[in-house]
Amino acid sequence: MKKKLVCYMVMAALAFSLLVGCSSQVVEEKPQEAVTLSSYSGTKVGVCIYQISDNFMTLFNNELVNYLVSKGFSKNNIIVYGSANSESIQLSQVEKLIDEGVDALIINPVNSSVARAITDKAVSNGIPLVYINREPSGEEELRWENYGFDVTYVGCDARQSGIYQGELVLDLGLDELDKNGDGVIQYFMIEGAPENVDAGYRTMYSVSTIKNAGVEMECLLDEVGNWDRVTSKLLVREGLSQGLIPELVICNNDAMALGAVDAIKSGKLVPGKDIYVVGVDALPETIAAIEDGDIAGTVFNDYILQSHRAADAVMNYLQGNGNEHYVGCDYKKVSAKNVQVIMKMILNSGSGDGGQDN
Ligand code: BGC
């Protein structure tokens, strides 16, 4: 109860800091050229987010807008569209942004195959382009390299998040996990989206990391939860109601881990005792759930660093400095052991007030 109270207080502090616009204390950033803040005030940036209702992308987008504002961009000149998970909607939004005269584009593509058409539109109009969160194909990235396009991708290597999830599970110990004592870990896998790079790698690497440590695994259910809490809840509830009894639920993100916890509780089981759950992202609600013991661990998907690096890449292009065609970031493991440290880090590295979706 006390822990929960502390957590709520920290969450309240986070919300407060976002409201009052605390000064940004940016970590691990590339130094920027000295530019006066006013030099970006007339610069227009167009942003497309694959689906604005995605909890993680909302955090990402808010931080991106806040950071751009802290660098002197005018909030009115940052145009954000949610693309409703539709390729055609996203393509028409990109065209609209170009017609509106944006100076740079930051795009979270609906999928990797839409990237080629978006790149062509940006490049033919001389507009620098930064992709975020969903990596375009290797073939597409090679094109940027070969033709010297002002196009880059900023994101994390999802293989690392899968490995970290596996390590978090291993840290729990076989004795703790193996509730039925058969020497095998029975598990559910709840995947993000079909053909999504993050989903594929996280699924593959979480399990292989556990297996490579000599632990036997048995998959009882493997379903696509579309990164969504309610979908995941329904899937896990359905599995449990069929009499499947997992010892572990591995989810490709936190929204789905929270949904798994909802289902476990509604099945009158205790998450973190009868069944362990792991996610990826470190959403504020997951941090609280780790404190409560409902979620065993998550992997911080550093949306702060990723959004700052995406904005920095835009500024580099605008100043004619260019960028590498791939800008990476590291994930971080989060469990009960370090949740406080991670929470403080998140509080200290955000940029304060800003974001609002169009
Ligand atoms: C995040 C998910 C998010 C997805 C969107 C992933 O990296 O972990 O929470 O839904 O990106 O593309």
pLDDT of residue 195: 87
pLDDT digit string, tens, across residues 233-290? 999 999 999 999 999 999 999 999 999 999 999 999 999 999 999 999 999 999 999 9
Q: Are residues 202 and 146 in the same domain?
A: no
Q: Is the CB of 227 under 6 A from ligand 1?
A: yes
Ligand 1 lined by 135 (C-beta under 6 Å): no
Does 54 reside within a domain? Answer: yes
Predicted confidence band of residue 350 (pLDDT cuts 50, 70, 90): confident
Task: Please give the span between the terminal C-alpha atoms of the chain, in angstroms, as a whole number.
Answer: 39
Q: Is 198 in the pocket of ligand 1 (CB under 6 A)?
A: yes
Decide if 172 is inside a domain.
yes
- Residue 233, domain CATH: 3.40.50.2300
Q: Is residue 34 part of a domain?
A: yes
Q: Which pLDDT score, from 0 to 100, does residue 58 have?
A: 97
Per the domain annotation, does 345 fall within a domain?
no
Q: Whose CA is nearest to atom 11 of ligand 1?
A: 133
Same domain membership, residue 72 and residue 56: yes
Q: Tens digits of per-residue pLDDT, 311-322?
A: 999 999 999 999
Give the total number of structural domains in the chain: 2
Q: Give the tens place of pLDDT for each residue, 279-293.
A: 999 999 999 999 999
Q: Are residue 62 and residue 194 in the same domain, yes or no? A: no
Q: How confident is the model at residue 349 (pLDDT cuts 50, 70, 90)?
A: confident
How many Å lie between the centroid of ligand 1 and the Cα of residue 228?
Answer: 10
Full domain range(s) for residue 205: 159-300
Distance 63 CA to ligand 1 centre (A): 15
- Shared domain for 18 and 140, answered yes or no, is yes
Same domain, 30 and 150: yes
194 plus 289 within the same structural domain = yes
353 in a structural domain: no
Instruction: Note whether 84 and 170 are same-domain residues.
Output: no
* 75 lies in the same domain as 170: no
Please indicate, yes or no, if residue 317 is contained in any of the structural domains: yes
pLDDT in tens, 85-96: 999 999 999 999
Three-state secondary-structure class, residue 248: strand
Residues 9 and 129 in one domain: yes
Q: Is 210 in the pocket of ligand 1 (CB under 6 A)?
A: no
Query: Are residues 28 and 59 both part of a single domain?
Result: yes
Please, what's the b/e burial string for 239-277 (b: 16 or more CB within 10 A of its CB; e: otherwise)? bbeeeeebbbbbbbbbbbbbbbbbbbeebeeebbeebbb
In a domain, 342, yes or no: no
Return the residue whose CA atom lies nearest to atom 8 of ligand 1: 253
User: Does residue 166 form part of some domain?
Assistant: yes
pLDDT for residue 99 is more than 90: yes
To the question of pTM greater than 0.85 for the whole model, the response is: yes
* CB of 122 closer than 8 Å to CB of 98: yes
**Ligand 1 contacts CB of residue 161 (under 6 A):** no
83 Cβ inside 6 Å of ligand 1: no
